[in-house]
Amino acid sequence: MLFLLSGPSGVGKGTVRKALFRKNPHELLYSISATTRSPRRNEVNGRDYFFVSKAEFEKMINDGKMLEYAQYVDQYYGTPNTWIEQQRQQGNDVFMEIEVNGAMQVRSKVPDAILIFLLPPDLMQLRNRLELRGTESDEVINQRLKTARQEILMMTNYDYAVVNDKVDKAVKKVQTIIEAERLKAKRLANSYIRILEG
């Protein structure tokens, strides 16, 4: 199965995802994206992102190596397709954390992907979180907050919306969604088998 998490910058996607993975270390595999933005302090190439140049990214697009990609606040972000295809063929569940335009590309290529949108309690707290994180300049924070309004409008295209008020509560909700969707898929598979068996 493919689970996908989106939400405005600073809402807590990374925080929620890391807490979720600490709780379920072997059940989900994280899809590492490629990006042209510079690494932040503490970010590691090959763990948080594959940090590449604009020319390298454009070559990956032209070589058909991206499942999806988008431009977000002047930078490219995209999902390399080889690794995801391998994992899905081996029956592993994959977790992606990507923005809304890329999510819509995934939806059309992988119609059974489960799309979850993470919301802030309000826009004031979103700004506070971005400012407290301290990884972007004021100018970039303002661009990201402007983009946030357009992203939130896209929420209606998602399967689920979760408000990240308290991290542990948001993690539990995402966990519940994953468990419920896994059960649903299992039940569907069992009923297909019954039909095939006549």
Ligand X SMILES: Nc1ncnc2c1ncn2[C@@H]1O[C@H](COP(=O)(O)OP(=O)(O)O)[C@@H](O)[C@H]1O
Ligand Y SMILES: Nc1nc2c(ncn2[C@@H]2O[C@H](COP(=O)(O)OP(=O)(O)O)[C@@H](O)[C@H]2O)c(=O)[nH]1
Q: Which is nearer to ligand X, 21 or 58 (CB)?
A: 21
CB-based contact 13:97 (threshold 8 Å): yes
CB-based contact 151:7 (threshold 8 Å): yes
| Amino acid at site 106 | V
Q: Which among ligand X, ligand Y, none contacts residue 148 (Cβ within 5 to 8 A by kind)?
A: none
Q: Which is nearer to ligand Y, 63 or 197 (CB)?
A: 63
Q: Which among ligand Y, ligand X, none contacts residue 33 (Cβ within 5 to 8 A by kind)?
A: ligand Y
27 contacts: CB under 8 Å, gap ≥ 6: 93
Q: Is 198 assigned a ligand-binding role in the annotation? A: no
Question: Pick from 164, 185, 193, 162: which is nearest to 2 by CA?
Answer: 185
- Chain residues that interact with ligand X, rule: CB under 6 A: 7, 9-15, 129, 132-133, 164, 166-167
Question: Pick from 57, 153, 170, 145: which is nearest to 100 by CA?
Answer: 153
- Chain residues that interact with ligand Y, rule: CB under 6 A: 9-10, 13-14, 33, 37, 68-70, 72, 77-79, 97-99, 102
Q: Which among ligand Y, ligand X, none contacts residue 12 (Cβ within 5 to 8 A by kind)?
A: ligand X
Q: Which residues are annotated as a binding site for ATP?
A: 7-14
